[in-house]
Amino acid sequence: MSPLTTRAPAKINLTLHVLGRRPEDGYHVLESLVAFAGAADLLALTPASDLGIAVSGPTAGPAGPDADNLVLRAARHLASRVPGLRVGRFHLVKRLPVAAGIGGGSSDAAAALRLLARLNDIAPDAEPVRAAARATGADVPVCLDPRARMMRGAGEAVGAALGMAPLPAVLINPAVPVPTAPVFKALGLQVGDNLAGAPHPAIAEGLDAEGIGAAIGPARNDLEAPALTVAPAIGDALAALRGQPGCRLARMSGSGATVFALFGDRHAASAAARRLRAANPRWWVVPTLLR
């Protein structure tokens, strides 16, 4: 049987409001509009009698040891919920930067669950698949069906796909890995605390690019300020984006260090990416469409 393949696209937090920390488990409660980029890792699954993974690609080294990969963790969680699950050997081509605030590992895990569901004729939204996603990590459920939508809580509450128009954008990672834990520590919320701030704007279904930009303009990423104390290079990348002709909005994604900017059209985004690459050859700079 030929390998089954899928993409694992970067998850971009267009907004990220931190509401507080839950008293019952200490998890941070979030409200976030996420979209998915054209930039992606690639995952293949060849049916076999046992689970395994090989990782290659430009960011394979920073992805960490294969045995602890989220792809295998997700597969094991699904196998524990589906007796007799057919499994196999994964090949992950890592192209996305690691510890970058774009959910690369979570998207890889969700891609593994989609491939295993396909191999076993399981609906991709079946409860065992969704339960395995929740058990694997907070960002995995929203990556199962990678289309723009709201996510809430600690990632377990995933809204319906919004059907929004593609957004021309540029992504930058300034070659600085930023683990999530130090950023939340710098935010400084104690268990049971709430974070003050304007409520998240309502996001209607089917908005065009201009409508999305207007809707999310008043929103924010509450992790941006603490992330800047952990990795000041984030500020350099944001300043570089904001200085580009046609930049409509620039903001950090997730807990950083990846930042994004929205542009009016693909030509302006591509031109900005060329200039930014030339000026900052060490940075990961990608023009893309967010959907």
Tell me 197's DSSP state.
-
* Sequence-ordered list of residues with C-beta below 8 angstroms from that of 125, at least 6 positions apart, any chain: 144, 145
Across the strands, what pairs with 21?
28
The single residue of 11, 41, 108, 222 carrying the catalytic annotation is: 11
What is the distance between the alpha carbons of residues 17 and 2, in angstroms, rounded to a whole number? 43
Helix residue spans in the chain (DSSP H): 70-81, 104-119, 127-136, 140-143, 180-187, 209-216, 224-230, 233-242, 266-279
| 185 flagged as catalytic | no
Is residue 124 within 8 Å of 131, Cβ to Cβ? no
Catalytic pick from 41, 108, 139, 222? 139
Report angle CA 83, 86, 91 to the nearest 5 degrees.
Answer: 135
- 205: which 2 tokens? 């279904």
**Catalytic: 11?**
yes
288/36 Cα distance (integer angstroms) = 10
Instruction: Give the Cα separation of 177 and 159 in Å (integer).
Output: 29
SS3 154: coil
Residues in the chain: 291
- CB-CB contact of 58 with 92 (8 Å): no
Name the residues annotated as catalytic.
Answer: 11, 139
